[in-house]
Amino acid sequence: MTFYQELQLNQAGSKNYIASFKNPKEKLKHIGIYLFKIIITIVFCILFITLFSMLFGGDNSLAGLAVLLSIMAFRFSDFGIHTSHAICCVFMVFGILAVGPKISKNI
C-alpha cells in the first residue's frame, strides 16, 4: 500500500492495517503515518478557521467552525442528489452563513 493510499484509510481501516504488522519497526512506521494524517487534519482545521475569520471577520469565526464541521461530517454522505447540484447547494448555504451576519450587522 502506498503512502497516499494509507492516508485515505478511515480510522478503523488504519487501525486494522497497523495491527496486521508483526514487526515492531513496521508497526511504528505505520503508526507514524497515521499520526501524520491526524496532524494534517488538525493543521487544515486551524488554517481554515483562521482564514475564514480573516476574510469574514472575527465575529464570524463560529460560522466558519460550522462550515468546517459540515464539510467534515457530510463529505462521505449520500443525499441522493447529483454531485454538481450538491456543490452549488453547499456554496449557497456557506455563502449565506458567511455573508449573512455581516449584512445583518449593517441593517
- Spatial CB neighbours of 31, under 8 Å, sequence gap ≥ 6: 18
Is the distance from CB of 34 to CB of 18 less than 8 angstroms? yes
pLDDT over threshold 90, residue 39: yes
pTM for the full predicted model: 0.67
Q: Is the pLDDT of residue 74 over 80?
A: no
Cα–Cα dist 72/39, whole Å: 15
Output the average pLDDT for the chain: 86
- Residue 98 has which C-alpha cell? 458567511
Predicted pLDDT of residue 32? 93
Among the residue ranges 23-27, 45-49, 78-82, the one predicted with the least confidence is 78-82
Which string of DSSP letters, residue by residue, matches 43-89? HHHHHHHHHHHHHH-GGGHHHHHHHHHHHHHHTT---SS-HHHHHHH
Percentage of residues in the chain with pLDDT exceeding 70? 96
For 44-70, how does the pLDDT look when each residue is reduced to its tens digit (9 = 90+)?
999 999 999 998 888 888 888 888 888
| CA–CA distances in Å: residue 14 to residues 10, 27, 57, 71, 77 | 6, 11, 38, 21, 20
Mean pLDDT value of segment 85-97: 84
